[in-house]
Amino acid sequence: MSLKELNDNDLQAILTFTISLARKAGDLILQGSEAIQQSGSNVDEKKNSVDLVTEYDVKVEELVKKEIAATYPDFKFIGEESYAAGSRNPLTDDPTFCVDPIGERRPMQPLVRPFVYRKPFTVDGTTNFVHGFPWVCISLGLIYKKRPVLGVIFNPFLNWLYHGIKGQGSYLSRNGGEPLRLPLSKSPKPLGTLNHALIAVEWGNDRTLDPLDKRSLSFRNLAGDPDGGVPKDEWLILYVRWGARR
């Protein structure tokens, strides 16, 4: 397989491998959750009491990295934990797996988001994992020529698996069933206003006063009723789903 030219057959083979790897990593996540709930496990604070890392974040990433290296030894690798520890290889045109070992994905979040190379992942699911809240997933993406081309997201607690290849649609498999093409609604209606939307918010890991005040204002503008005196802030509609911050 050429490192410079991945064709559709190559991507399909990589997707099959990545789905299998996500399920294997999911088994380890479940084992870790059981261990933490039963007897406790090592939990460290990256920055504060809500920015957490467990030994299972590291174990899952190590498992994924080892499996990728064995199957695709010439592919590059970017992982959240190794990135945070200082391993920050430059992004090149070579195929590069980008991995969040224990993350969080909300149902309305796009499967493939614009990739910004400052920190591979910005939404943390370890807090959910530590507290036994089952909104946890393993996220695996393939970047090729500096563009996302393939993604797999697996929640082992719910047994929901999202996957997609660029230009071929995105799919959801629930409880091992047949993949369902997204969106699940056959005739999704355009969203006229946020009054008809389900909005999820992320407080982030910086809990100092200034960012909390700014996020609180953003959330107020999103959820507030303009007829009740809450001013509209239209630009937030464009940016909130992409993780933009004031």
**Exposure string over 159-185, b if 16+ CB within 10 A, otherwise e:** ebbbbbbeeeebbbbeeeeebeeeeee
Note whether 150 and 166 are within 8 A (CB): yes
Round to whole Å and give the CA distance between 69 and 99.
Answer: 13
- Per the CB < 8 A criterion, the answer to whether 240 and 222 are in contact is yes
Cα–Cα dist 147/232, whole Å = 34
> Tokens 């409880």 appear where?
175
Q: Which residues are annotated as a binding site?
A: 80, 100, 102, 124
Helices (H), 40-167: 55-71, 80-84, 126-130
Task: Please state the residue numbers annotated as binding site for Mg(2+).
Answer: 80, 100, 102, 124
Rounded Cα–Cα distance for residues 213 and 207 (Å): 10
3-state helix, strand, coil in the chain (%, to 5): 35, 20, 45
**143, β-bridge pairs:** 96, 148
